[in-house]
Amino acid sequence: MKLKKPKFWNYNKPNLIAYILLPLSILLQIFKSLQKKTKINFKLKTICVGNIYIGGTGKTSLCIKIHELLSR
C-alpha cells in the first residue's frame, strides 16, 4: 500500500479555512492558559521516532533496532 502525503502540507501561505478557524484557535489558547497547570511525572520513558511524511522513511526498522539495543 503506497500512501501519499496531503497536498496542503506543502502550502506556504494559509488558506481561507485557516483564517476562518483562527478565532476558534485563539479562544482555545485562552481557555488552555486559564486552566490549572499540573505536571505529571510518569516512570515510563518514551522515544519519538518519525516525521510528518507517511510511509517509506524507515521508521519501523529504526524502531526495531532501537528496541534491540535498549533490550540488552
Question: Looking at the domain assignment, is residue 1 inside a domain?
Answer: no
Residue 1 confidence (pLDDT):
66
Domain tally, the chain:
1
Question: Looking at the domain assignment, is residue 4 inside a domain?
Answer: no
Question: Looking at the domain assignment, is residue 2 inside a domain?
Answer: no
**b/e map 4-38, b = 16+ CB within 10 Å:** eeeeeeeeeeeeeeeeeeeeeeeeeeeeeeeeeee
Residue 57 confidence (pLDDT):
78
| Per-residue pLDDT tens digits for 38-72 | 778 888 888 888 777 777 778 888 889 998 998 88
**What is the span of the domain harbouring residue 25?**
11-71
- How far CA 48 is from CA of 4, 14, 57, in Å, comes to 22, 28, 14
By residue count, the chain amounts to: 72
